[in-house]
Amino acid sequence: MRILVISDIHANLTAFEAVLADARGEWDEIWCLGDVIGYGPDPNECVDLLRSHPHTCLRGNHDLAGLGEIDVKTFNPAARRAIEWTQAEISDESRRYLEGLPSRMTIEGYTIAHASPRLPVWEYVLDEHTARENLKHFDTDCCLVGHTHVALIFASTNGTIQMLAPNYKAPVRLVETRTIVNPGSVGQPRDHDPRAAYGLLDLETASWQHRRVPYDIAATQQRMAAHRLPPGLISRLQYGQ
């Protein structure tokens, strides 16, 4: 089975549609690592589009905040304003859907977590030390995480751990090593590449492919401006940070 691995859509329907179009015909099922909503202008549309495909979904800190299950005071002022707008916008149906999701699970021999296996809602895995600590907190070979909006792989062989930049040109095989893999963010990349990020995982061959696809950033920005979402959140999309 071939999996489309996505994370941090953040209510950016244009980016999500671009990912689905780019990967068309190359996957059987979606694994979404959370933060479907928050920041962007299309929370209900993104939930609906995800639900129209065979999928498994986790919930992240922004999903929990949108449901009112996390105190918005823990977010910076711009994120807080976006969360408050999202709380007012979210439909009862989207709410019921998100309420039922876990933040970590094991599926088909893979651990998946929104943020990290150790702290599935909050921890940022961005350095080797944090990645090494987290290896103790899952027992599959590979753990897929989102949350940082940075596409990368941590690979551990014989006690040494390496942070690897994504290879967009060729797949890598997730064998003979323990790995923590981040597909990057669909709707708000923060690795200085504004294109939408995703991954393709082939369960039979354990091969992983990082992907990027451009999308119409201005179209998303226009909808954000129309909803008076914070200017800083609007401009960051074009810089990918």
CA distance 154 to 60: 21
Which span (5-13, 71-79, 84-92, 213-221) binds Zn ion, by CB under 5 A? 5-13
- Minimum CB distance to Zn ion smaller for 23 or for 65: 65
Cβ within 8 Å of residue 51, ≥6 positions away: 97
**Shortest reach from residue 159's CB to Zn ion, in Å:** 31
By CB under 5 A, residue 123 contacts Zn ion:
no
Asked whether the beta carbons of 140 and 111 are under 8 A apart, the reply is yes
Q: Which residue number is nearest to Zn ion in terms of Cβ?
A: 35
- Minimum CB distance to Zn ion smaller for 35 or for 123: 35
**Shortest reach from residue 163's CB to Zn ion, in Å:** 20
- Minimum CB distance to Zn ion smaller for 142 or for 186: 186
Q: What is the CA radius of gyration of the chain?
A: 17
- Minimum CB distance to Zn ion smaller for 144 or for 206: 144
- Minimum CB distance to Zn ion smaller for 161 or for 182: 182
- Minimum CB distance to Zn ion smaller for 66 or for 166: 66
Total residues at interface with Zn ion (CB under 5 A):
2
**Shortest reach from residue 115's CB to Zn ion, in Å:** 9
**What residues between 8 and 67 interact with Zn ion by CB under 5 A?**
8, 35
**Shortest reach from residue 149's CB to Zn ion, in Å:** 6
Which span (2-10, 95-103, 126-134, 169-177) binds Zn ion, by CB under 5 A? 2-10
- Minimum CB distance to Zn ion smaller for 35 or for 193: 35
**Shortest reach from residue 121's CB to Zn ion, in Å:** 11
**Shortest reach from residue 188's CB to Zn ion, in Å:** 7
**Shortest reach from residue 62's CB to Zn ion, in Å:** 6
SS (H, E, C) 79-102: HHHHHHHHHHHCCHHHHHHHHCCC
Q: Which residues bind Zn ion (CB under 5 A)?
A: 8, 35
